[in-house]
Structure 1
Amino acid sequence: MEHLPIKQKITIMVAVLASMLFAALNQTIVGTALPIIVSDLGGMNYFSWIFTIYMLASSVTAILVGRLSDMYGRKPFILIGLGLFIVASFFCGTADTMVELILYRGFQGLAGGMIFSTAFASIGDLFSPRERGRWQGLMAAVFGLSSVFGPTLGGYIVDHFAWKWIFWIFLPVGFVAFVLIMRLFPSVPRKDHGRIDYFGSVFLAATIIPMLLAFSWAGNQYAWGSFQVNGLFALSIVALLAFLYTERKVSNPVLPLSLFGNSVFTISNIIGLLIGMAMFGAIMYMPFFIQGVIGTSATKTGFIMMSMMLSMVLSSTIVGQLITKTGKYKKMAIFGLTMMGIGIFSLTTLNTNSTNIDVIYRLVIIGLGLGCSFPIFNITIQNAVAYKYLGVATSSVQLFRQLGGTIGVSVMGAIMNMIMSAKMDTTTSKAGLQGGMEKAADPKVLMDPEQLEAFKAQVPAEQADMLNQVISAMRNTLSDALGGAFLFGVFTMVLAVILVLFLKEVRLKTSNQEDDEEENIIQVEENKRSTV
């Protein structure tokens, strides 16, 4: 599709970006609206499944559709994804029970995986590796903007309208994107790559789903080392072994293992996994510090977190342009990962005396580093593999990043809980809390300034000093626990910087046709050897 007029390419990319924004906003807008949804529908015990089911469904379909789109073209899958997402979003707003909402969110996840997978691969269809930098930067900017405006808009909608509108408000964007892609996106004739690898697909899904569930539930629903968590890990390992065996036997594997023989592909995906660990960990646990240690309201916390995403949008856009202009990326990757590591390390220096300004400039550093590195590894992988594997290779980036986020959030949570448990036992025993004062030692109270003030008002005046001492000790405990969790993020970034040093900087191709030429040369050489 490189031969298309530039105006048509840009129009197609606007539609693809609109599709991404439509799906990404629906993913991020739910968080702030969730308390209202739970109060309306009930099902408090199941609310986490609203996120979990989406994550599971999107992770599985992203990698599977990536391979299928290499065989059948991107257009049918991005249209199916958009159509299903529109329908699922509409039904999410009609849910009368939590079970219904979880079911519809599952369909949203299936569709979201299709959209994200084909959208990133579409850049590879339309543009050469050298030209992809600016568009990968814009894709990263779309994710950043959705993370900024999604939660804020979700809070505004539930404050002024029915919560159902968080799922309906962007439906026109989805319709417009669907029509534009249907009319402008070229259809690609089916390529004969053989039969679909059904067994490999099943075993791959059976590997991913238990693994993600194990890391999501460990330390929350179930303890680390529990029968449930260990059972899920065991099931994942068995499925992985079956998947590896199957992929070696079939002629058309869903995830060709030969790709991992490419050092650029393997190293880039491992770095993506490490970035996901640090990025999602920071996004998940920084609000704990802002609200629980500093005492900032939830609304202001959202605005503070914006600083990270806005700086990411800025740097990803600039870096994308620089890659396209220079054709170089390794130094930028080293710079971005190093800056991100420095920013995360600076989070460990925060304490109970820190202010919101102290947090903001640290988040800006993280965001700038994240924006520098986020778009690069899509480009390195797409540039390193043959064009016929573009879809599955691009989808692997999304999969590894999602796995990294799930693992990182789980491990950081385990570290935080371990440190807090050890220090809280000491704090409560020294204070000798009794007579209802035990509630002051509950970290959840620190997360809600209004609830904390209400609790203070109920405490007798003679116990006010003791209460303030306990609250101060709990803030210190939470600060230390989060500092320990962020150290794990620093460790992942150190590993990422070391790995990128071993990343071979391959010349960015100026045309997708170079892949076909290289394959033809290889085939000719093989034919010569076989003849001899």
Structure 2
Amino acid sequence: MNHLSQKQKVTVMIALMAAMFFASINQTIVSTAMPRIISLLGGMEYYSWVITIFMLMSTISTVLVGKLSDIYGRKPFLLSGIVIFMIGSFLTGLSSDIVQMIIFRAIQGVGAGILMSTTITAVGDLFAPRERAKWTGVMMSIFGLSSILGPTLGGVLIDHMEWKWLFWIFLPLGVIAFVMIWRMFPKTARTSSESIDYWGSLVLSASIVALLLGFSWAGNKYAWGSAQILGLFAASIIGIILLIMIERKAKSPVLPLSIFKNSVVTLSISVGFLMNAGMMGAMIYLPFFVQGVEGLTPTQSGFVNMPMSITMIILSTLVGRWIAKSGKYKHFAIIGIAVMIGSMLMMANMHSVAFAVASMTVFGIGLGLSMSVFTLTVQNALPPSQIGVGTATSTLFRNLGGTIGIAILGSVMTSTLTRNMDKAMASDPGMDLSQVDPKVAAELSGLLDPKLLMNQPLLEQIHTELPDQVQPLFAHMIDILRSVLSDTLSTVFIIGAILVGVGLLLTFFLKEIPLRTSNEQQAPKSDETSASGVNQLKKSTSH
């Protein structure tokens, strides 16, 4: 797209930002409302699956579309991503039970994976890495804006309207984004010399499914050492071995092994994996503290998330400009990840709504400083012909990190919650139900479930229907549930901080290659100021 004028590029960016906002707002709008939706549909034990299936399908579609978009161009995948996402959103709003929601969220995930990956890759097509940093910051700001509007709007809608409108309200925006991409985005010719790696795509998809199913079911549906879980992990390992054998011989591999010989790419992908693994735990489970422990409504929960989004928008925009001006990025990543770790340790010690707001504010600062750096480093370390597959691979491992992180932290939460609940009940003499009418005791025992805390209207209804003499016991039981949930979430946040901490250590080993100022295949040899970076780039991409 080097033939486009700056004005044409800005026009295309407006279309891309519309597509980005459409995809991101539809994801963030359900964050604060999902606990209430699950409590209405039932199937709390499958809560993580609603998130996991979305990320699973978006992960698979992301990596597959990366190579295909290098062959066929970005435009058809941007358009198809919007259409598939719209279909998935509409069907999700029609869900009558948790199983249907999981299936329809899978369709949503396919569209989201195609759309988000291709949007980021298209920015790489339009601008050289040095200028790209500024626009990447703008794109992250668009995501941050949706993070402000989404949770707040989702909370308001779930409190005052049927939950299906969360998935339907922005469908007209999808139509607008589709028309803008159709009219503004230039069409590129197919690379006829490239072939499609069908076997590699199939084996890669199967390996990802087996791996993520193993992590999702382990400690929840099956024990970690069960035959089912070990079988899934074994299948994944075998699939990875077969994939390596296939990709070595493939003319146009869907996942080129050569990119992993580049230390910058490998380290960037690894850090992105670990960051997302720990970060997603914080973002997914914070509403459990705000709504479950503190008793806020989804609307109020959205306002608690708002400071994070505001700080992320400001820092993402500023960091993009700073990187574009200086060409330096490593120190932003190190500082940002360190701030994220600090914020997650703050979350582990939350004891009030004010403390939760402070934690999320610090978390947003860390995200804004580091979020866009590692996509930029991957794109800068690879030749323009591999931007699509490089971006897709980076996104693949970030999504894998998020999915595996949610699964692991979800398993930790389930097991820790059970253990803490048993311990609390055994050590609290105030919960002796033997002195209560057997019928009432049985009813109270059935209410010893932390998911009750996520549905405030139901909680209030139960409170008014119980006999007066049982009210103090019920109030005490709710206090125990909140205490147990709070202690459990602290464990989840600490483990998330540890995962991000490993990513911070790896970041120190990242080589800082000067950002290119051109999208040409090779940098000018006469540029003495960046000779070492160019030599490193040539070495890492010559395989």
TM, length-normalised to structure 2:
0.86
- Alignment-derived partner of residue 247 in structure 1: 247
Aligned ranges 1:183-262 → 2 under 5 Å: 183-262=183-262
Tell me whether 1:321 sits opposite 2:321 in the alignment. yes
Aligned ranges 1:382-401 → 2 under 5 Å: 382-401=379-398
Q: Which of 485, 491, 495 is equivalent to 2:492?
A: 485
Q: C-alpha displacement at 1:470, in angstroms?
A: 4.8
What do the CA deviations read for 1:15-59 (whole angstroms, capped 9, x no partner)? 011111112222333456668877998888978765444322211
Q: Which amino acid aligns with 1:377?
A: F
SS at match of 1:2: coil
Q: Which amino acid aligns with 2:141?
A: A
Q: C-alpha displacement at 1:197, in angstroms?
A: 0.8
Aligned ranges 1:428-447 → 2 under 5 Å: 428-430=425-427, 431=429, 433-434=432-433, 435=436, 436=441, 437-439=444-446, 441-447=448-454
Q: C-alpha displacement at 1:368, in angstroms?
A: 0.6
Tell me whether 1:414 sits opposite 2:421 in the alignment. no
Percent identity among equivalent residues? 44
Runs of 5+ unmatched residues, structure 1 = 527-532
Cα distance between partner residues in 2 of 1:156 and 1:166: 10
- Alignment-derived partner of residue 380 in structure 1: 377
Cα distance between partner residues in 2 of 1:492 and 1:21: 29
Contact residue 275 and residue 499 of structure 2 kept, 8 A? yes
Contact residue 16 and residue 181 of structure 1 kept, 8 A? yes
Q: C-alpha displacement at 1:285, in angstroms?
A: 1.4
Contact residue 193 and residue 252 of structure 1 kept, 8 A? no
TM, length-normalised to structure 1:
0.88
SS at match of 1:245: helix
Q: Which amino acid aligns with 1:486?
A: F
Cα distance between partner residues in 2 of 1:133 and 1:61: 25
Change (3 A) 1:94 1:365: closer
Runs of 5+ unmatched residues, structure 2 = 526-533
Q: C-alpha displacement at 1:468, in angstroms?
A: 5.1
- Alignment-derived partner of residue 307 in structure 1: 307
Change (3 A) 1:447 1:46: closer
Cα distance between partner residues in 2 of 1:440 and 1:45: 15
Tell me whether 1:511 sits opposite 2:495 in the alignment. no
What do the CA deviations read for 1:171-206 (whole angstroms, capped 9, x no partner)? 332223222222322222222453211110001001
SS at match of 1:483: helix
Tell me whether 1:61 sits opposite 2:61 in the alignment. yes
- Comparing 5-14 with 469-478, which one deviates more in the overlay? 469-478
What do the CA deviations read for 1:452-489 (whole angstroms, capped 9, x no partner)? 45555566666666555554444333322222221112
Cα RMSD of the aligned pairs, angstroms, is: 3.1
Contact residue 281 and residue 489 of structure 1 kept, 8 A? yes
Cα distance between partner residues in 2 of 1:414 and 1:37: 21
Cα distance between partner residues in 1 of 2:114 and 2:263: 27
Cα distance between partner residues in 2 of 1:41 and 1:272: 34
Cα distance between partner residues in 2 of 1:88 and 1:131: 35
- Comparing 398-407 with 289-298, which one deviates more in the overlay? 289-298
SS at match of 1:513: coil
Contact residue 2 and residue 128 of structure 1 kept, 8 A? no
- Alignment-derived partner of residue 356 in structure 2: 359
Q: Which amino acid aligns with 2:518?
A: S
Change (3 A) 1:20 1:103: same
Q: C-alpha displacement at 1:223, in angstroms?
A: 3.7
Q: C-alpha displacement at 1:97, in angstroms?
A: 7.6
Q: Which amino acid aligns with 1:401?
A: R
Aligned ranges 1:453-492 → 2 under 5 Å: 453-456=460-463, 469-492=476-499
- Alignment-derived partner of residue 111 in structure 1: 111
Aligned ranges 1:278-297 → 2 under 5 Å: 278-297=278-297
Change (3 A) 1:186 1:468: closer
Cα distance between partner residues in 2 of 1:419 and 1:39: 21
Q: C-alpha displacement at 1:221, in angstroms?
A: 3.5
Contact residue 428 and residue 441 of structure 1 kept, 8 A? no
Tell me whether 1:495 sits opposite 2:502 in the alignment. yes
SS at match of 1:507: coil
Q: C-alpha displacement at 1:316, in angstroms?
A: 1.2
SS at match of 1:131: helix
Q: Which amino acid aligns with 1:433?
A: D
Contact residue 387 and residue 516 of structure 1 kept, 8 A? no
Cα distance between partner residues in 1 of 2:287 and 2:88: 30
Q: C-alpha displacement at 1:148, in angstroms?
A: 3.0
Change (3 A) 1:148 1:126: same
Tell me whether 1:344 sits opposite 2:344 in the alignment. yes
Cα distance between partner residues in 2 of 1:470 and 1:41: 24
Q: C-alpha displacement at 1:295, in angstroms?
A: 2.9
Change (3 A) 1:219 1:189: same
Tell me whether 1:145 sits opposite 2:152 in the alignment. no
Q: Which amino acid aligns with 2:450?
A: P
